[in-house]
Structure 1
Amino acid sequence: MSEILKSLSDQGVSIWLDDISRERLRTGNLESLIRDKHVVGVTSNPTIFASALSKGDAYDTQLHDLAVRGVEVEEAVRAITTYDIRWAADVLRPVYDATGGADGRVSIEVDPRLARSTDKTVAEARALWWMVDRPNLFIKIPATVEGLPAITQAISEGISVNVTLIFSLERYRAVMDAWLTGLERAKANGLNLAGIESVASFFVSRVDTEIDKRLDKLGTPEAKALKGKAAVANARLAFAAYEDVVNSPRWQALKAAGARPQRPLWASTGTKDPSYPDTLYVDELVTAGTVNTLPEKTLDAAADHGRVTGDTIRPFYEDAWNAMAALKEIGIDYDDVVRVLEEEGVEKFEASWNELLATVSAELRKA
């Protein structure tokens, strides 16, 4: 068992694995990660499923049966992905029970091609919630402008939501408002608020990737000194915004009615720049009441040489504000950065979804 990951968990950080595959499930690998590396949740996305389907033979029998039945490719994708999610949810059910529903969660994403359609996103969220039929499920809904009312509607119906693709502080505040509105409607509908969970996935490494690229173009000593500073600062200020909300009378009224907080989740935490420490977005984003979802490579690195030195968020708000102010001063357009990142994020997930459809289509033809 990793003592470093135990220390991270003891600090109040929930460690989730950013990966799933049937091979991982059938070999018992997920159970071993829960036992040995303090993993208490799993996230998935179209890229992860496309990768899983391209390796090994774990899906061959189901693909064969789907092909024999003449199932259309999109229905086949749903059958394959929801099977894995149900299985993972069952593996994590003891964690869910032990943590009162906070952890032991497994996330599945709505079709990313629906990211700009509120009504279709809501319909998809309902369908996935029904198909998986596990209380420890999260439906991932992107934090696009069109996704915000879908988040509210899903939560108002008692569907637990993992809000994904959050890059900007302004959008994060809108996400928290959508979540609170959903809870208020759920309360008005007579639902048990204690059973509705949510996390908000704030993306980290991509912020540095985009801003560092712009800093390199500037090429000044001041610009170079700010490389690798933006992502951590942005995430720290997101947590400050979260603290503002959970200290508000609006949240306190919902909390008194049994509601649970929407925890910030650090996503995209594998470093993209090899010159940065591979545990940068783990070590520098430690505070109680957060989730860090890690690719296995980052999980292994954190287990081996991560640095858990206590709270690395709350004491550093001023540093974060100063870093963001310095970026603005030298000409980095934050609003344009987060706009580009959201557009690219949606496009990347759409491309992965299309790749997944193509992979399944090809496998069905072979089966």
Structure 2
Amino acid sequence: MAQNENTQRTSDSGVSIWLDDLSRTRIESGSLQKLIAEKNVVGVTTNPSIFQKALSQVGPYDAQLKELGKVDVETAVRELTTTDVRNATDIFRDVAESTDYVDGRVSIEVDPRLAHDTENTAKQAVELWEKVDRPNAMIKIPATLEGLPAITATLSKGISVNVTLIFSLERYEQVIDAFIEGIAQADANGHDLKHMGSVASFFVSRVDSAVDKLLEANGSVEAKELEGKAAVANARLAYELFEKKFNEDSRWSALEAKGARRQRPLWASTGTKNAAYSDCKYVDELVAKDIVNTMPEKTLDALAAHGNGAPSIEGTYEESHSVMEKLEELGISIKDVTDKLEADGVASFIASWDSVLSDVQAGIDRVNA
């Protein structure tokens, strides 16, 4: 079966297409294999909200729950989620090997309740890595201030990391620094750098959702003209920072010479939330080499149906800086917006995780009744 021409064009432009979804039904139905074969999908990301959706389904997980018996709910959740991720990494093994482990990655996130607990985040990252036990897994760690040293500590052990919940350029620069320090420590600890991978998940559409509300409240002509521009400008400036840091950091140059790979920017939250905007806006407007875009299936389908996929970041930095300056002139603080989005993101994932625990407990009770 040939790949879709629009997803192929996007891939040829340098974007690795990952799916932001995973469930046992998707794995067992062959849906994941089909997306690999037909829509250039070369990786998967999960998060607490995705597992909440998957584990709330009655049926797909009952056999494993029955096998586990009356275990405590935390153990059950760990077993169910790591089984899905392990099985997905096996499906992507050929992709991982053919890309020398650049792609073929499947991410699993540490318990979001640990987002402000450095020591236990780092500890659980190791536990998840060992539990999944696959070289093409990635452990997701949120980019909170407390998460930054945990990112470094995890990488230092030779573990691949997906840094999540990045909203601001300031925090993204800190993430890159934490990554470079982690790779330096991994090198000092004797780990093979060539197959270590890392991505920095920069959230996109949520920025527009927040900023557009403030622009609507402002009500001026100038504000109206900026609607739908903040998120893409913010992400494009993140890519500018990516190029600058990795091209100019002498410490990184030395590590790259030893085979280390750059931490790629990953565009997350790429589903379009405003019906007035294109349903593949946060894919088509953010195309460049060394990018990962993880998208819900609805966005992937939109890209396949009518996406452009041509390079769209180069030459946009001046315009993007101008968007940010105009927002500040209108009294809209991007720092305030992104600080709130980070806090809200952590809270949302914790709420989803609480639902996961509740749903799985109900499953344990049901199969053992």
Q: Are 1:158 and 1:195, in contact at CA under 8 Å, matched by a contact in 2?
A: no
Give the TM-score normalised by structure 1.
0.98
Q: CA RMSD in A?
A: 0.8
Calculate percent identity across the aligned residue pairs: 56
**Residues of 1 paired with 2:179 and 2:155: CA distance?**
7
**Residues of 2 paired with 1:101 and 1:177: CA distance?**
22
Alignment of 1:1-367 (within 5 A): 1-66=3-68, 68=69, 70-248=70-248, 249-308=250-309, 310-367=310-367
1:24 CA drift (Å): 0.5
State the secondary structure of the residue aligned to 2:346.
Answer: helix
**Residues of 1 paired with 2:307 and 2:58: CA distance?**
31
**Residues of 2 paired with 1:352 and 1:228: CA distance?**
28
1:55 CA drift (Å): 2.5
1:126 CA drift (Å): 0.5
1:196 CA drift (Å): 1.5
The answer to which of 32-41 and 209-218 deviates more is: 209-218
1:135 CA drift (Å): 0.1
* Cα deviation 1:114-134 (Å, max 9, x = unaligned): 000000000110000000000
1:238 CA drift (Å): 0.1
**Residues of 1 paired with 2:156 and 2:244: CA distance?**
23
1:54 CA drift (Å): 2.0
**Residues of 1 paired with 2:130 and 2:353: CA distance?**
21
1:56 CA drift (Å): 4.9
**Residues of 2 paired with 1:325 and 1:264: CA distance?**
23
1:257 CA drift (Å): 1.3
1:344 CA drift (Å): 0.2
* Structure 2 unmatched ranges of 5 or more: none
**Residues of 2 paired with 1:132 and 1:318: CA distance?**
44
Given residue 282 of structure 2, which amino acid in structure 1 is its aligned partner?
Y
**Residues of 1 paired with 2:311 and 2:306: CA distance?**
18
**Residues of 2 paired with 1:267 and 1:49: CA distance?**
16
**Residues of 1 paired with 2:233 and 2:366: CA distance?**
49
The answer to which of 178-187 and 51-60 deviates more is: 51-60
Q: Are 2:151 and 2:163, in contact at CA under 8 Å, matched by a contact in 1?
A: yes
Given residue 281 of structure 2, which amino acid in structure 1 is its aligned partner?
L
* Cα deviation 1:225-256 (Å, max 9, x = unaligned): 10100000000000000001111212111101
Given residue 24 of structure 1, which amino acid in structure 2 is its aligned partner?
R
* Cα deviation 1:21-66 (Å, max 9, x = unaligned): 0001001110000000000000001111111122352111112222
**Residues of 2 paired with 1:116 and 1:78: CA distance?**
20
**Residues of 1 paired with 2:222 and 2:54: CA distance?**
43
* Structure 1 unmatched ranges of 5 or more: none
